[in-house]
Amino acid sequence: MSNAPLMPKATAVWLVENTSLSFAQIADFCKLHELEVKAVADGDAAQGIRGHDPITNGQLTREEIEKGQKNPDYHLQLSVSKVRLPPVKPRKGPRYTPVSRRQDRPNAILWLVRNHPELKDAQVMRLVGTTKTTIAAIRDRTHWNAQNLTPMDPVTLGLCSQIDLDFEVAKAAKANPDAVIRREEPEEQTLLPAEETTREAADADRDLDVESVFAKLKELKRDDQDDDEDDYRRR
């Protein structure tokens, strides 16, 4: 199976409109599903897409099209480009961040600094596409918008993939395991046994002197009666 042509759906539109190739042949050449090619022919799909001529751009020859039209079982072959492009070198430096996401980078940096302090500045730069100056300002709380920053997962924000984050975290943990935060599990709290609770209640009852309480109540009642008699005599 050869590679798909450039703009496969637009190429399929052109082949449907300008050749008598079968849907299966067009689908095989454009790496589409046969039902998708049928939908293109019926006008249910690719509406508004302008057909792309694969002959003029050197991806298909007229001879290949004629072979396919004569033999429905023939698989069209993608023409080999005579122009050799140099290999693309991997880009070094910070990851490019779309303009619409750049305001979320400080929140993502704060999340990484708090949750993964083992990450080096270079790793944070690779993940969210930032600079060492910004990372240092967020760490020191000297960032111009530090009061309004909220830690947010860079994966959720779409600044990096979960695979990239896990790779950098594992790499940092392997290089410096002492820097990894070890969150202590809270102690499990259980109810006290019934023996302890009943013993505490019994001790409290034992400490309470019932007779002294009643004696105190009698004295208070006697004092109230004496006050009432004094008021009656004054009248």
Single-letter code of the amino acid located at 35: L
Cβ neighbours around 227 below 10 Å, total: 10
Query: Which whole-number Å values give the CA distances from 92 to 85, 104, 118, 156, in the listed order?
Result: 20, 22, 22, 24
Classified as helix, coil or strand, 121 is helix
Q: Which residue has the tokens 């052109």?
A: 14
Tell me the C-alpha distance between 56 and 44, whole Å: 27
Both tokens assigned to 226: 């004496």
User: What pTM does this model have?
Assistant: 0.38
Per-residue DSSP letter, 176: -
Alpha-carbon distance 177 to 169, whole Å? Answer: 11
The encoded tokens of residue 224 equal 């109230």
Instruction: Indicate the SS3 state at residue 75.
Output: coil
CA angle 70, 73, 78 (to 5 degrees): 85
Report in angstroms the alpha-carbon separations of 175 from 110, 125, 171, 178, 183: 22, 18, 6, 9, 19
User: What does the pLDDT profile of the chain (235 residues) look like in tens digits?
Assistant: 447 787 888 899 999 999 999 999 999 999 888 898 888 888 877 666 788 888 888 888 999 999 999 998 999 988 876 656 566 555 455 555 555 556 788 999 999 999 888 899 999 999 988 889 999 999 999 988 888 999 988 888 888 888 888 888 888 888 776 655 443 344 444 555 555 555 555 555 555 555 665 666 666 666 555 555 555 555 5
**What are phi and psi for residue 38, nearest 5 degrees?**
-65, -40
Name residue 220's amino acid: L
| pLDDT tens, position by position, 21-55 | 999 999 999 988 889 888 888 887 766 678 888 88
Closest CA to 123 of 139, 113, 114: 113
Segments of the chain assigned E as strands: none
